[in-house]
Structure 1
Amino acid sequence: MFQQGKNIRFFIDRIKEVYRDHPRMRSVDSLKEQLKQEKVQDKIFSQSIKDKKVTQQ
């Protein structure tokens, strides 16, 4: 079972390497980066809401 999981990860890594410069892969990377930025903004926003609740109490 462990070996099979290791093989799958190896094949996924190979596919990523082969198609790294493909235009679709670049757009996927761009979208992933955008999602990371939005996630950080959401964390900042939720933290500010929590801080406001604490100061109001």
Structure 2
Amino acid sequence: MRNTESGELVQLAHGAAELTGTDFEYRKRRYQRIDAESLFKDVAAESALILRVRSRA
């Protein structure tokens, strides 16, 4: 799921994907295109944390 999310956010952040309106839904909330890069960084940090936790188990 995070891979899909991060791929969609990267496309939005870099203009590779177009919005049909002025905002987009992400995790049941509405955001502007300008938020995509910050959201992508959050998803990347979550993924890194999960990998660290799994490697300790």
Q: TM-score range by the shorter chain?
A: 0.3 to 0.5
**Greater percentage in strand:** 2
Looking at CA atoms only, which structure, 1 or 2, has the larger radius of gyration?
1
Q: Which structure carries more relative contact order (alpha carbon 8 Å, separation 6+)?
A: 2
TM-score (norm. length: structure 2): 0.44
**Greater percentage in helix:** 1
